[in-house]
Chains A and B, each alone.
Chain A
Amino acid sequence: MNYLDEFRDPATAKKITAAIKAITTQPWNIMEVCGGQTHSIIKHGIDQLLPDEIKLIHGPGCPVCVTPLAYIDKALAIAAQPEVIFCSFGDMLRVPGSHHDLLSLKAQGADIRIVYSPLDALAIAKINPDKQVVFFGVGFETTAPTTALTAYQAKQQKLDNFSLLICHVRVPPVMQALLDSPDTQVQGFLGAGHVCSIMGYHEYLPLSAHHKIPIVITGFEPVDILHGLYLCIKQLEEKRYQVENQYSRVVKEQGNQPAQQLISQVFDVVNQSWRGLGEIAASGLSLNADYADWNAEQRFAVAAINTEEPAACRSGEVLQGLIKPAQCAEFGTMCTPEHPLGATMVSSEGACAAYYRYRRHQHV
């Protein structure tokens, strides 16, 4: 298939793997930022193709995993109200809140629907004028534009039975926070390709220059990831630190400008809490004053819900790359995909879930 088969071609992968081995002279720690990349690495076994010197650190780029517990509890509080149709992307439904998850609430009779686009939620609002329809907008800059477009259309159409619970987050500030952390082991980044398809990569230029760290914007297929790693290792070995674009078939430096305009038209940049990581300055997006009437937190008075994260879950350390999932005592015992303690075990993009699914029988 065009754009798929050639990026899964074993012969090409083998060539790049050989090239990586040829240039690697010392240990390097490289973080893939995006959960989609983590999933692909573990699914295809890419880390097992690499020389021992290369350690991959799985980054915080899974939107399900980093949505704070407080927002899951807000979602549950809203979805439990009898007049509400609560719409969400599928993989948010199994994320555990303080007491239960959206799937359990659905089983108890709440009207919770999986949508593929926020615009589907808008359509549901139009055909259910006697119901309050709420869309749970989560994700990085990749999904933020469609949420912004939905808010824009709701305002244009004066749809007053529609609102949005927003927990959108931004990638550059969390990369900045990771680099500022004294514990950081990251020496190079594979940048999140899809986020950059929207935002471009100009935001990363100062980050790379200030921290003297290579950032290679990378795609998601095995050949993309190996190529991104090759470019990153080459920079490290040559003591260079630049922003490079491996994913040039999709990503342009300035990104998708109409999408960026929509984001800035609808959202304010705010400080935001990340599950397991705490509050990070300027890392979130929330509806601005023009869209306050469509803010579900105000409409359903759930803004005050502020749940503490459970202590047993070490997902924060996993998300920072300080431990591998299997180093957590609860991994595979108290914490499984059926009974996740933290969100990294829920989403298919979460590092813990990926390790559980693909590496549980590692001694095979």
Chain B
Amino acid sequence: MSDLKLNCPLPLQYEQIVMAHGGGGRLMQQLLDSIIQPVFSNPLLNQKHDSAVLNVNGSKLAFTTDSYVVKPLFFPGGDIGKMSVCGTLNDLAMSGALPLYLSCALIIEEGFAIKDLQRIVKSMQLAAQQAGVLIVTGDTKVVDHGSGDGIYINTAGIGLIDTNISVSPANIQVGDSIIINSDIARHGIAIMLEREGMNFDSSIASDCADLSGLVQDLLKIDIDIHCMRDLTRGGLASGLIELATSSGHAIAINETALPIHQDVNSACEILGFDPLYIANEGCFALFVPQTQTAQALSALHRHPLSQQASHIGTVTATHPKGIVTLQTTMGISRVLDLLSGEQLPRIC
């Protein structure tokens, strides 16, 4: 096996978009790298951060956008409205920004219940209010019955970054400790169980949460945060693989250190899913110098959104660069690779 060589990505195989192009895996990466990125390429976009960091008249602004197409619209632990606010706040927070303003664009399908719309916008307002941000601009479009999926939401956000703060994949250094704030895979499994109407004797709720307050608390204490990444679509593994690739460093994580809720683990076992690749909505990875690991953990453990914070791995100088390895519970090291697209439930 040692004669295996790394290969360039193959050309796009599909002539049409398939669902896997949005799955947070290799096909999505290929779509971005071959169709989107080359056309829009500029230094700000090419930072490949959760938000673009803009210098405007001496101020550092973070700017980001995200679209929300989750089904079902209401799920244990949240709804599309809460998610559309928290998700964008989290993207801002990951660049070290204090979120300030959001936009809200609604694409609503003909026939959608007004009471559901009311419920969703109230949920958005509540989440924004709790985070101390304002929704200051928006747009509403209605499409023909059958042309949408009830409702899609796009939000964009602007935040302010303290000029002394620099949090970016480019700052990741060999030796950094990698900490995650919470258990993984709860959002994806909660959605899956709700969507498929599976009668599990469990009440797994999404971890959907605004992380910006927690991040602001961390930025106030004396920890040199090198990088943060929220581990949404594609889960922990895909998030770390992207960071390893963009930083050019290798990452080693330890399976025994990964917090996973027992019910989530059971659901994954039954469906044949790997929790490392399941989406989160309130979980992020934090890169800090190894000497500040204990301090970061103790700060995290004081906050309600990070009581299960765990030191899961380290940035290493291993070759080849840009890969993520997992030390399994059996003591064997194996590579974590991007999946093609979303995980598909197994036959048996």
Contacts and interface: CB of A to CB of B under 8 A. Distances in A.
Contact of B333 (A89, A90, A92, A364): A364
Contact of B347 (A48, A92, A106, A333): A92
Best-buried of B6, B272, B333 by chain A (most CB within 10 Å): B272
Contacts of A45: 328, 330, 332-334
Interface in A349-364: 349, 356-364
Interface string B248-272: 0000000000000010011001011
Nearest to A363: B2
Contacts, number: 138
A363 B345 contact: no
A46 B330 contact: yes
B325 interface: yes
B45 interface: no
- Interface size class on chain A is 35 or more
A91 B18 contact: no
Contacts of B348: 36, 63, 139-140, 142-143, 194
Interface stretch (B7-15, B79-87, B96-104, B291-299): B7-15
Contacts of B319: 364
Interface of B is mostly: loop
Interface in A130-159: 138-140, 142-143
Interface in B290-318: 318
- Interface size class on chain B is 35 or more
B17 interface: yes
Interface of B: 1-2, 4-7, 10, 13-20, 26-27, 30, 196, 198, 262, 265-266, 269, 271-272, 318-320, 323, 325, 328-335, 337, 339-340, 343-348
Given A46-B330, A364-B320, 6 more contacts: A4-B265, A45-B328, A103-B19, A139-B347, A324-B1, A360-B6
27 contacts: A1-B262, A1-B266, A43-B334, A44-B332, A45-B328, A46-B332, A48-B332, A90-B347, A91-B345, A93-B344, A104-B15, A107-B14, A107-B18, A107-B19, A116-B196, A116-B198, A138-B347, A333-B7, A336-B10, A337-B340, A338-B27, A338-B340, A348-B272, A359-B1, A361-B6, A363-B4, A364-B323
